Structure 1
Amino acid sequence: MTGDKPFWETKRLDEMTRAEWESLCDGCGKCCLHKLEDEETGELMATNVACRLLDRRTGLCKDYKHRRTFVPECVRLTPRVLREIDWLPSTCAYRLLDEGQPLPDWHPLVSGDPESVHKAGVSVRGWTVSEDEAGDLEHHLVDRQL
């Protein structure tokens, strides 16, 4: 902390250490859900289908360090990449901080409780299926804000 403020309120994303950057992830798991793009409009549509590496109970990757070996299209999020993608959840700490917004009260860095994201109902816990079990993504569209 700088003074009485936590690092996420005093540093730009590109000034954070690797540990600080990684701690911004709230474990919601929503960035690991498959999305479908409407070919005519370009609109992204949410599904309840999670990446095979996502632990749907914790909202964390089962093999984060080696994830790109198993899922080559998995994005390594950086401050630069953050500005190039438009599918991060509206509640994503990286997105919020980049837009100059505060972290929500349920964010684990604010609450001090890693379960707070699940208790607040903003994670993938309880409503998703693994891509290994899902079948056609078109059958898994959901009316949820990501």
Structure 2
Amino acid sequence: MEPDPAPAGGAAPDRPVIQTSAALVGDGADIAQARHLAAGFLTRAQAEHGLPVSQRVMEVTQLVVSELVTNARKYAPGPALLDLCIAGDTVEVSVWDSDPVLPIARAADAGRVGQHGLEIVLAVAQGFEARREPVGKRITARLALADDPGGALAGRRPL
């Protein structure tokens, strides 16, 4: 995990951008490996940089990583890339895969078994972006790094 000396969008000028990446080979161990990477990344960010990372943030980040990597493994052949980045007060989880088809969130349906991953990610993320790349696509979810002082979950606000 190397700090990037140039702040990215939204990063405080006195706080470095902290990031890590991993190539995932497309086998059954990818999801556990990605969750482990996310937990270690946030633990190091807290220990080495003094950033506030609550247990809830740790768990929600691992959940988002798990859902995005699961979707990449399920719908795209071959390898995927996982990027984790802390810029300012958010942690960004990005997953690239080789399939150019962008995901579409389905309408909520309590009777549907499975296929709720994107719904979950959209519910807990402050921001979400899906974009095509020259090869494949990149899905990015932005999560609040710290809990709301009022105790509310720091996901999307109801409309």
Indicate whether the TM-score tops 0.5: no
What band does the TM-score fall into relative to the shorter chain? under 0.3
Relative contact order, higher structure (CA 8 A, sep 6+): 1
Structure that is richer in strand per residue: 2
TM-score, structure 2 normalization: 0.26
